[in-house]
Amino acid sequence: MGRIVVTGGAGFVGSNLVAGLVALGADVVVVDDFFTGTRRALPDIEIWEGSVTDFNLMHRVCRRADMVFHLACRNIIVSTQNPLDDFRVNAGGALNVLLAARDSNVQRVVYTSSCSVYGNQERMPIKETDPVSLLTPYAASKYAGEAYCEAFQASYGLPTTVVRYSNVYGPG
C-alpha cells in the first residue's frame, strides 16, 4: 500500500482510518496537533506532532508519501466560536497539504469534507447534486478545501478525491 500520511490521524475518524490502514499493511504516518485527538488512540506508528498550517512540516512529511488522507480540521463548534482559526486550519491547512502533495509527487490526496456544506436541506437523503448552502464558517472552510482540491487537480494534475461525511459514529 505504500507510505500513507493521515492528517488529523489522532481524532475519532482519523484513528479509525489509521487502524484500518495499519491492518491492511500500510506504512502510516500521522500528523496531528492534538487539539482534539489523543495519542492513546493510535497504534505504534510514526507520529509528527504539529499543524497542517505549518508549510515546512507538511513538505517534510509528504516528501516520501504515496498518498495523503487529509482529515485535520477544526470542528463545527470550534469553527463557529473562532472563524479566523477555522479558516487558518481548515482552508489554509488544506492548501498547505495540497501544495506539499503536489511538490512531493504524491499519487492521490483524499480530502475529508462534510455534509455541512449542504446546510439545512428540506429533503432526505441529501444527494451530491443538491445545492450548497454554507450556513457556518465550518461549512465555508470545508467547501473552500473542496474547491482547492478541484483547482489542484485541474491546474497541476494532482489526483484528488473529496468525501463528505455525515453522522459519523462507531467504536472509540
Q: Would you call 138 a catalytic residue per the annotation? A: yes
Using alpha carbons, select from 127, 126, 162 the residue that is nearest to residue 146.
162
Distances (CA, A) of 143 to 149, 157, 159: 10, 20, 18
Distances (CA, A) of 88 to 2, 35, 137: 30, 14, 11
Could you say which of 111, 118, 138, 143 is catalytic? 138
- 31/47 Cα distance (integer angstroms): 6
Residue at grid coordinates 481548515: 90
Sign of CA dihedral 89, 7, 110, 114: negative
Chain length of the chain: 172
For the CA atoms of the chain, what is the radius of gyration?
15
Which positions are catalytic?
A: 138
